[in-house]
Structure 1
Amino acid sequence: MGTDMLSRCNQADSPVDRFISVVAWNISTLRPPIFGFVPYNPILGETHHVSRANLNVLLEQISHHPPVSALHATDEKQKIQLIWCQQCVPKFNGKRQLKLLSRGETYEMNSPNLLIRILPTPGVDWDGDVRIRCPENGLEAELHYGHKSFLGLRGSHRSVKGKILETSTKRTLFEFNGNWDRTITMKDDTSGKLTVIYNAEEVYSGLKTPIVNDLQGVRSTESAAVWSELSEALMRHDWEKANETKNAVEEKQRELLRERESKGETWVPQHFTLTRNKDGVWDCLPIHQWVPPAPIIVPLS
């Protein structure tokens, strides 16, 4: 099975070891993006509710224009809470928090940018700087995601470099280097000791396809339900039916919008409260403290 990087964040007794685990988990959230035509265009209010062991995850599409997604994930056994709110515009704006509730620690972080290329060959990659900060333990991390240059003559594909430092003194404690789709090695700046803190193969290997465990519990807003006919048409290579189904879903959304506008109503998310600052950055707070177990599960083995 894939390595449970999130649970590790709460298991270490040392604040430094917990911070290192958070850095490794943050790197593990990246996946190689796929470039090409995507027929699924998330609709307003679309949700995805899934569980893996004790981790329950709930996502909701809280805005259509611009596209903004909110995520709330909790593990009551480990006392872990995740809150993400992000706007994908190829630069991922928004706020991400990982809370280790039993430790009294909150880790705040941003996301790298999504780099889209058309020339010399079409493709996408992760790029830019990420900062992870935990005020309670006085540590922060700086990560830089790199990519090859325009012609592929400079840079390293899917590279990540960075360091962990004390916030108060800015003294570097650890440096790390590697590739986020392979391995990341960390060097202790005091002893010079090298340690592999992340191995992508261990994380990816054995991951299972989600299965429906409780059909009656699946919401009508669940992604799998919203796009079921489209998915079936794509698997049959029935492009005409796929296009017809996609248009039907989107036309239904336009009808609901016209109906709300005629009544002077504003759409309100079911699972989050929203704020938006003067710079246009969205933030969200989950309505409920814990995410309940989902009708869709990811098997452990």
Structure 2
Amino acid sequence: MLSMCNKGHSPQERFISVVAWCISTTRPATFGVAPFNPILGETHHVSKGNLNVLLEQVSHHPPVTALHATDEKENIEMIWSQQPVPKFNGLGGNHKVIKGKIFDSSSLKVLYEVDGHWDSIVKLKDTNNATMKVIYDAKEVISGLKAPIVKDAESVWPTESAYVWGETSQEIMNKNWEKAREAKQVVEEEQRELLRERESKGESWNPKHFTISYSKEEGWDCSPIHKWVLDAPIIAQ
């Protein structure tokens, strides 16, 4: 879906593709949620076709994840960062609902209305002629997803998520809860020891793949150090 973001014939078409792709990044609960927080410097480096993606945990308190994705063939680059923002909006309303508007930035005229559910169908309504079209079908997008494969195990970084939490995840899958807890504690204690070492030496930690800055006005800025993301040893199918 990301490759479609650069194929539209007009800015509107390309923006609609970006909206559809953003919706696709929300996954239903069937994919599960890892019961642990990323460690500082944890990475995930994966490729699919010509698209190469690199994520790095650039802050632990607060938790911030930076992402850099490039596709040289399609001339696509994405730089993005994420951090949870706690909010309390009350108990009313429907869950899994997507609603929004696409408007012209100069005239503020609403061009399209977006409506649907991120776990099923999301439609786009053209306000000029009231025509509707589906821009996202969760079943169609998710049904073909498969677990990634490791193409080159020796090239997997020790900071790779699957490597860091491999033993913990395996014990969880085996329902060996006590062993999973112990494996998780080993990872966490290693991080505490590294923190103590840095503090004793008066050193600060810096990300390996991004430069970061923060301001109250702009929030977090995570800029990739390298222009292109290299091919990854892990392949998404």
SS of 2:157's partner is coil
After TM superposition, the structure 1 = structure 2 runs for residues 23-62 of structure 1, keeping only pairs within 5 Å, are 23-33=19-29, 38-62=34-58
1:82 lines up with 2:89 in the alignment: no
* C-alpha separation in 2, matches of 1:55 and 1:285: 19
SS of 2:198's partner is helix
What residue is the counterpart of 2:207 in the other structure? 269
| Structure-2 change in CA distance of 1:20 and 1:37 (3 Å) | closer
SS of 1:50's partner is strand
**Residue 33 of structure 1, CA deviation:** 4.9
Q: Which runs of 5+ in 2 are unaligned?
A: none
Contact 1:39 1:246 in 2 (8 A): no
* C-alpha separation in 1, matches of 2:170 and 2:94: 39
**Residue 38 of structure 1, CA deviation:** 4.5
What residue is the counterpart of 1:9 in the other structure? 5
SS of 1:243's partner is helix
| Structure-2 change in CA distance of 1:218 and 1:173 (3 Å) | same
* C-alpha separation in 2, matches of 1:250 and 1:89: 24
* C-alpha separation in 2, matches of 1:264 and 1:293: 36
* C-alpha separation in 1, matches of 2:174 and 2:110: 55
Aligned partner of 1:245: which letter? Answer: A
What residue is the counterpart of 1:217 in the other structure? 155
SS of 1:225's partner is helix
* C-alpha separation in 2, matches of 1:69 and 1:33: 21
Identity %: 60
| Structure-2 change in CA distance of 1:197 and 1:236 (3 Å) | closer
**Residue 71 of structure 1, CA deviation:** 0.7
What residue is the counterpart of 1:244 in the other structure? 182
Aligned partner of 2:17: which letter? Answer: S
Match of 2:129 among 182, 191, 205: 191
Cα shift readout 1:180-208 (whole Å, capped 9, x = no counterpart): 21112222121222211111111111111
Give TM-score, length-normalised by structure 2.
0.92
Cα shift readout 1:196-246 (whole Å, capped 9, x = no counterpart): 111111111111101111001000111111111112222222222211111
SS of 1:12's partner is coil
The structure that is helix-richer by fraction is 2
Which protein, 1 or 2, shows the higher relative CO under an 8 Å CA cutoff with sep ≥ 6? 2
| Structure-2 change in CA distance of 1:11 and 1:279 (3 Å) | closer
Aligned partner of 2:226: which letter? Answer: H
Contact 1:159 1:178 in 2 (8 A): yes
* C-alpha separation in 1, matches of 2:162 and 2:126: 45
After TM superposition, the structure 1 = structure 2 runs for residues 1-301 of structure 1, keeping only pairs within 5 Å, are 5-33=1-29, 38-90=34-86, 150=91, 155-278=93-216, 281-299=219-237
Structure 1 window deviating more from structure 2 (274-283 vs 16-25): it is 274-283
CA-atom RMSD in angstroms: 2.1
Aligned partner of 2:126: which letter? Answer: D
* C-alpha separation in 1, matches of 2:19 and 2:163: 35
What residue is the counterpart of 1:106 in the other structure? none
Aligned partner of 1:55: which letter? Answer: L
The structure that is strand-richer by fraction is 1
How many residues align? The count is 237
